[in-house]
Structure 1
Amino acid sequence: MKFGIFYEHQLPKPWTDGAEQKLFHEALEQVELADRLGIDYAWEVEHHFLEEYSHSSAPEVFLAACSQRTRNIRLGHGICLSPPGYNHPARVAERIATLDIVSNGRVDWGTGESSSLMELGGFRVPVEEKRAMWAEAVEQTANMMVMSPYPGFEGKYFSMPCRNVVPKPVQRPHPPIWIACSKRETIHLAARCGIGALTFAFVDPAEARHWVDDYYRILKTECVPIGHSINPNICMVSGFSVHPDKDEALKRGLDGFMFFGFALGHFYIFGEHKPGRTDVWQKYQAARGMMPTNEARGIGTPDEVRRHLRGFAEAGVDQVCFVQQGGNNRHDHICESLELFGRDIMPEFKERAAEREARKLEMLAPYLEQAMARKQKMRALTDDEVPTYMALGRQVVATSQQAEISQDGKVADFGRGDINVPLQDPSRKVEAAQ
C-alpha cells in the first residue's frame, strides 16, 4: 500500500501578519521531509473563498515549489476544479503539462467539481450542471494533452478552435487522472471512466472494502475511459498523529482533525457564512463539546496506527492519504509524526507494495485492454484539414489593402486564413464516458 500527505492549508482565526506565509513555508518543509522519508504522494487541493478551512487557491504554484525541493514524491492535484467556469480546459492542460515537465514526470492529475456554494456561486457554476461540465472538460483536456494539433471543439459548456496545446507532458499519454469522491456513487463514476478514486470520506476499513469491491467490479465490466489511459487506483483519507504515548498523540492531532471535519461541514453542509466576517474557529470552539471523537482513526500509538492501516490494506485500498495539517496542528508535531511513521510503521507496507501493484495490474490487464477498446477517440485532422490562420497584423494590413483595391475594382489574393476561421465540425465531439 502507498501513502500520501494531504494539504488544505488550513488557517483558523485570529490571523496575524505573516501567518499565511509561515503556513505555506512550513508545508513545503513537510513535503521535503516526506520525500526524504519515502512517502509516495503529496496531494494539494484547489479551493476558493473557503476562509480558515482552505487557503489553497493556486495548487499549481505550491506544487511547482514542491517539485524543486523534492526528487521522488509524486505531486497530486487533489483536486483541480474542472468546470470551465473555474479553469478553462486549455489552461488546465498547459499547467498540468508544465508541472509534469518541471517535476520530471511526477504529476497526478486529480479532477473534480466542488460542492461548496461559496465556490460554485463565486464562479457562476450552476449546481445542476457541474457534473456534465466536469465530464466535458476532463475529456477534452486529456485530448489537448495528447493530440497535435487539438482539432477544436464546440461543446455545451466551452468551445475553442483548432490549436496545438503546448507543452506536452512528460508522462504519456498524460498524467494519471483521478476524481474526488465523497459518495459511493462517485466511486462508481470513477470506475466507469477508468480513473482513480480519491475518496474524501472518512470511512473505516470495513466500509472501505465495499467501496473497493464496487470500484473494481465496475472497472472490469463497465469502464469506458474518459482519458487515453486507465488509472486503476483507490485512495482513502485518514486522520494522522503518531506518538509513543496515546494521550499525547490525541493532544497533538485530535483538535486539528475535528476542526477539519467541522469546517468542511460549515462550508458544505450546515453553515452560514458571511465573507470576511464569520469566525469558523470560534464556531468550532462553541460546538466542540458536542462533537463525537470516536472517528479519529489514524491518531494514536505506532501499534494502533499500524493496525488501522492493516485494515485498509486488507480491504484492498491502494493508497492511504493522511490529513496531518488541520486546525492549529503544530509544524514540529507534524514532522515528528511523519518521522515516527516513516521509521516504525511504513516499512511493513512498503516492502510489499511493488509486488502487490504488479499482481494487481497483471490481473486487470485483460479488462483494461477491453476497456480501452471501447473508447471512442476524437478523430485527428489530416494535414489538409488543419486550418491556416493569418496573423492579426497581416490581416489588418490585408483588410486595409482590400478596401483600397475594392474602390478601383481590382481583385487580389492575400493568402489563406482568417482570424475568424469557424470552429471544427461539432460532429467530432465525443461524449464523455459515464
Structure 2
Amino acid sequence: MDFILMTEGDTPVGLTHEHRYRELIDEVLLAERVGFDAFGSSEQHVAIGTATVSAPEVLYPYLMALTNRIRFIHLVTLLPTRMNHALRVAERIATEDILSHGRVELGTGRGNTTLALRAFEVDPTENKAQWREGIDLIRRAFLEDPFSFVGEHYKIPPRSLVPKPLQWPYPPISAATGSPSSVETAAELGIGAIMGGFYLGFDLVENLLKLYDETLAATSHPYPITPRKMVTISGGMHCAETTVLAREQAKPLFDMAKLSTGAYERLSTLSKDYAYMGAVKDVDFDDEEYMFERSQGFLVGDPDHCIEHVQRYVDMGVDALVLRVDSLPHDQLLRSIELFGKYVIPRFKHPRNVVRPADDVLADIRAARPAHEQALRKFQTEQNLLNEKESVQ
C-alpha cells in the first residue's frame, strides 16, 4: 500500500494564496519526513473555493528541489486540447522526471468542473476523445524515437521528444476514473485507475476494483503497462489524538465536499460522458455517521481507527490511497500528517518495527514456552538415543 498526500491549497477567507502556498510547502516536507510515499495536487482552473493549484508543473519542481525521497504525482493533468497539448505534457513530465531524479508520475483526466471547461472553451462532448488521444500521443512520444501521430485531434509529423524521461519505459501513467466505463478504459490502456470521489459507499469502489482487475487480465496491451489501483479519499483524511476530536475538527470538510461536488450534477446534464456524476445528488452530506464511516469519502479518527479504515482498503486489494489533507487550519493539518505518518503508515509499511505493548510480548512469550519445552525434550531424547548408539558401537 502506497500513501499519497494530496492537497489543493484550499485557502480560507482572509488568508492570502502566498501564505497558503507556504503552508502547503511545510506540509509536503513533513509528509516526506514521516513516511508518505508521494505528494500530489489536482490541476484546478478559475476555481472558487476548495482548490488554488492551477499550475502544479510550476509548484512541483520547487518542491522537488527541497525533497529527496517523496514522489510527485499529478492528480490530475487535464488533457483537453485547449487546456494542455499532450506533446507539451510529455515535455514537462520528462523535464520533471530529470529534475526529480525519477520521482514523477502522470495522472490524467478531462476536467470535472463547468467553471474550468467553459473558461477554456472545452466542449464536454469531445474532451473524452481528446484525453484518449492524448494518452496515446504521450506514450508514443516517450517510447518511439522518432515518433509521429495521426488522429482526430492530433496530427504530429515525425519528431523526436526532447528531453527524454529517466524512468523506463516511462513515468507511471494513470487516469481519473469515476464510472465503470472509464475504469474499463484505463485497464484496457494498461494504465493506473484513480477511483472514488463520489461519496457513494464502499461497495461501488470495490466493484470498480474488481472490474479493473478483470479487464486488465482480459486485454492485450501493445504498450508497456503501468497498472495500479488507486483510491481517493476525496472528502479528507484527518487524524487526531481521539476519534471524537478528529470528527469535531473535520466537520468543516462537509462544506468543502458539498462545494466541490456541486458542479457534478450540472456537468452530468451537458454530456452523456458525464451522466454518472449526477448520482451525487442522492448523497446526504448532513448525515455525519454516513459521511464519516460509510460514504468512502472520509478517513477520520484516532490512529487506531484510521488503521482499521486503511485495512479495509488493503483487504480490497488497493495499491495506493490518495489522502486529501486540506481545508482545515494549518496546525491541524500538520498534526494529522504527523500522527498518520508516525502511527498508521508503519503498520502497513514496516509492521515488524512497530513497538508492541510489553504485556502483549510477554503473553506471546508465555504462550510459546510449551512448544519450546517440547522441542527441548525431543532434542534431549534424540541426543540420548544417539549417545546410546555410539556407546554400543
**TM range, smaller chain:** 0.7 to 0.9
8 Å contact from structure 2 (residues 254, 285) kept in 1: no
Q: For each residue in 1:268-299, what CA deviation from the matched residue of structure 2 results, as whole angstroms up to 9, or x when unmatched?
A: 3259xxxxxxxxxxxxxxxxx97222212311
The 3 A distance-change label for structure 1 pair 75 and 243 is same
The 3 A distance-change label for structure 1 pair 290 and 40 is closer
Tell me the distance in 2 between the aligned counterparts of 1:140 and 1:290: 40
Report the equivalent of 1:47: 44
1:204 to partner: Cα distance? 4.4
8 Å contact from structure 2 (residues 247, 300) kept in 1: yes
1:349 to partner: Cα distance? 0.6
Tell me the distance in 1 between the aligned counterparts of 2:94 and 2:142: 7
Report the equivalent of 2:309: 308
Q: For each residue in 1:8-65, what CA deviation from the matched residue of structure 2 results, as whole angstroms up to 9, or x when unmatched?
A: 22224x344xx10111111111111111111111111111111212211101111111
Report the equivalent of 1:346: 345
Q: Please list every run of 5 or more consecutive structure 1 residues that lacks an aligned counterpart in the other structure.
A: 272-288, 354-434
Q: Which amino acid aligns with 1:8?
A: E
SS at match of 1:29: helix
1:131 to partner: Cα distance? 1.1
Alignment of 1:228-267 (within 5 A): 228-238=223-233, 239-255=236-252, 257-267=253-263
Q: For each residue in 1:347-383, what CA deviation from the matched residue of structure 2 results, as whole angstroms up to 9, or x when unmatched?
A: 1111379xxxxxxxxxxxxxxxxxxxxxxxxxxxxxx
8 Å contact from structure 2 (residues 82, 122) kept in 1: yes
Alignment of 1:418-429 (within 5 A): none
1:153 to partner: Cα distance? 2.9
Query: Structure 2-normalised TM-score?
Result: 0.79
Moved over 6 A (4+): none
8 Å contact from structure 1 (residues 89, 137) kept in 2: yes
Q: For each residue in 1:129-178, what CA deviation from the matched residue of structure 2 results, as whole angstroms up to 9, or x when unmatched?
A: 1111111111111111222222x333211223332221000101210110
8 Å contact from structure 2 (residues 178, 195) kept in 1: yes
1:291 partnered with 2:286? yes
Q: For each residue in 1:223-275, what CA deviation from the matched residue of structure 2 results, as whole angstroms up to 9, or x when unmatched?
A: 535xx3212211112221111222221222231x213311212233259xxxx
Q: For each residue in 1:61-109, what CA deviation from the matched residue of structure 2 results, as whole angstroms up to 9, or x when unmatched?
A: 1111121111111100011111211111221111000000000001111
1:205 to partner: Cα distance? 4.3
8 Å contact from structure 2 (residues 206, 316) kept in 1: yes
Report the equivalent of 2:189: 193
Alignment of 1:81-160 (within 5 A): 81-150=78-147, 152-160=148-156
Aligned-residue identity in percent: 29
8 Å contact from structure 2 (residues 83, 120) kept in 1: yes
Tell me the distance in 2 between the aligned counterparts of 1:2 and 1:123: 34
Q: Which amino acid aligns with 2:2?
A: K
The 3 A distance-change label for structure 1 pair 290 and 38 is closer
Report the equivalent of 2:8: 8
Alignment of 1:196-211 (within 5 A): 196-201=192-197, 202=199, 204-211=201-208
Tell me the distance in 1 between the aligned counterparts of 2:351 and 2:85: 40
Tell me the distance in 2 between the aligned counterparts of 1:157 and 1:292: 44
1:336 partnered with 2:331? no
8 Å contact from structure 2 (residues 285, 291) kept in 1: no
Q: Which amino acid aligns with 1:219?
A: L
Q: Which amino acid aligns with 2:167?
A: Q
Q: For each residue in 1:185-218, what CA deviation from the matched residue of structure 2 results, as whole angstroms up to 9, or x when unmatched?
A: 2212111111101114245444433221111111
Tell me the distance in 2 between the aligned counterparts of 1:165 and 1:58: 22
The 3 A distance-change label for structure 1 pair 290 and 209 is closer
8 Å contact from structure 1 (residues 205, 312) kept in 2: no
2:178 pairs with 179, 182, 185, which one?
Answer: 182
SS at match of 1:160: strand
The 3 A distance-change label for structure 1 pair 122 and 304 is same
SS at match of 1:105: coil
8 Å contact from structure 2 (residues 94, 164) kept in 1: yes
Query: Structure 1-normalised TM-score?
Result: 0.71
8 Å contact from structure 2 (residues 195, 205) kept in 1: no
Q: Which amino acid aligns with 2:99?
A: V
